[in-house]
Each structure stands twice: as structure tokens, then as C-alpha cells.
């Protein structure tokens, strides 16, 4: 624990006074201080000017990061027959119907993304209280309720990231690994910010992108200039 404390103190000292920096400066700072024994995830947190209690201010979407996430994404697919076969051939980790529903109801959720064909939604709908809070509920708006399960599986495993504003208007996601080249991380971050910006709901009033911060899994956060991140 002592070593972890030293790393944390050193990182905080390096980050002191660094506010509203450019994306490039933030990435360089994060990479130079990501010293954990594992490849830390670079995470983004965005504060949006929305109130998610109102339906016309919900923010939800999906973005394909140009350089992937660096994460091995486990994908579950609810499908039957030929569509189940397609999902398996595309690389889905878990495929099923009622049997998969029972597995999830039993508390075993060993996947990061859930996809379903439209005819499976009556079954998947029973899992709303389990999958919903984990942001795993299939949704046609982000392409996870689809007949084209093969493409959906490939997209999920190829670096596609879903985002959803939660209480307080916060959007949070992993946008790569600390081992990525700085340029690739910057490209991923700008792609994510652009996608969230384009998802601005009709009910949002005033400033929409209010604050953006970046961090690594074990490191402190650094605030990024909203204008710079948004390419303004």
C-alpha cells in the first residue's frame, strides 16, 4: 500500500495546477503518470447541461472509436436458429434464448454487451431490472436490437462504445488504454466528444458541454478545455 500511496501522491503533484488543458496535454500527463502494474484504461467523464429526469433531455448513443478500446469485450446475444448461428460465427461469447434468460436471472452476467433480435425482446424484457442498471439492456437506438446480429457483434468487439447520461447529466466511458500512442488516444477522445455533442437532445437549454475530465484507472483526473475537446 505504501508504494501505491507514493504513486498517488506523485501523480497528484504532477497534476496540481493543471486545469482546462488541451486534450493533447491531458493525454501526455495521464500517460506519464499511469504507473500501475496493469495497462490502465483512459477514462472520460463529461458533465452535460441536461436533466435526465425529463424524457426530452435524455442523452444516449453509440460511437465507434477509430482505434478501439483495447478491451476484450464479451458479447451475449439473445437469438434462435440461424440468427444464433450467425452470432456464434461472428464471435459472440454467449448465445441463447430462454436458457440465457435463466442464467442472467440466476445472477450470472459474464458479458459486457448484450444484443438481441427483435423477436427475443419479450424474453429480454423480463430482465430489465437486472440489465437496465448495468446499461446492458438491448436498445434499437444504439443498434443492439437488430436482425443483423453478425455486424452488431463485430462492432461491439471492434471498439464500439455505448454512452448514456446518468443522474446529474454525467456521461462516463473508457476511451482506450494508457499503452496506446498519444495520437491514437487523442483521436479516440475527440471522436467520443463529437458523438456526445451530436447527441444533444432537443430539450437541452443553455450550455450543453459543461465540463470534461480525463483520468487513468488509478490516477487523478485532469480537466480538459471543452472548446479544445470539441474542436471549437
Give residue limits of the domains in the chain.
19-69+161-229, 75-157
Is the entire prediction scored with pTM above 0.85?
no
Residue 109's closest CA among 96, 118, 122? Answer: 96
Fold for domain 19-69+161-229?
Ribulose 1,5 Bisphosphate Carboxylase/Oxygenase (3.30.190)
CA distance 143 to 228: 30
Distances (CA, A) of 36 to 92, 173, 180: 31, 20, 15
Fold for domain 75-157?
Rossmann fold (3.40.50)
Residue found under cell 444464433: 84
Residue 78's closest CA among 151, 149, 130? Answer: 149
Please determine, for residue 226, whether its predicted confidence score (pLDDT) is greater than 50. yes
Identify the pLDDT of residue 147: 97
Q: What is the pLDDT of residues 179-208, one digit of tens each?
A: 999 999 999 999 999 999 999 999 998 999
Please determine, for residue 2, whether its predicted confidence score (pLDDT) is greater than 50. no
Amino acid at each position: 500500500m505504501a508504494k501505491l500511496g507514493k504513486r498517488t501522491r506523485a501523480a497528484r503533484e504532477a497534476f496540481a495546477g493543471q486545469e482546462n488543458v488541451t486534450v493533447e496535454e491531458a493525454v501526455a500527463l495521464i500517460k506519464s503518470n499511469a504507473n500501475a502494474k496493469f495497462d490502465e484504461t483512459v477514462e472520460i467523464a463529461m458533465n452535460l447541461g441536461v436533466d435526465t429526469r425529463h424524457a426530452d433531455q435524455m442523452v444516449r448513443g453509440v460511437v465507434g472509436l477509430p482505434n478501439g478500446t483495447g478491451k476484450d469485450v464479451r458479447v451475449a446475444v439473445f437469438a434462435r436458429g440461424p440468427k444464433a448461428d450467425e452470432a456464434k460465427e461472428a464471435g459472440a461469447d454467449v448465445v441463447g434464448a430462454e436458457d440465457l434468460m435463466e442464467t442472467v436471472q440466476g445472477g450470472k452476467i459474464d458479458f459486457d454487451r448484450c444484443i438481441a433480435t427483435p423477436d427475443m425482446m419479450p424474453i429480454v424484457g423480463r430482465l430489465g431490472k437486472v440489465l437496465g442498471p448495468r446499461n446492458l439492456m438491448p436498445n434499437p437506438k444504439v443498434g443492439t436490437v437488430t436482425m443483423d446480429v453478425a455486424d452488431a457483434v463485430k462492432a461491439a468487439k471492434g471498439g464500439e462504445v455505448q454512452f448514456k447520461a446518468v443522474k446529474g447529466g454525467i456521461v462516463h466511458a473508457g476511451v482506450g488504454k494508457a499503452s496506446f500512442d498519444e495520437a491514437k488516444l487523442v483521436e479516440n477522445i475527440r471522436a467520443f466528444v463529437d458523438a456526445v455533442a451530436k447527441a444533444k437532445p432537443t430539450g437541452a437549454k443553455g450550455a450543453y458541454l459543461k465540463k470534461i475530465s480525463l483520468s487513468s484507472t488509478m490516477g487523478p483526473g485532469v480537466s480538459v478545455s471543452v472548446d479544445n475537446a470539441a474542436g471549437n
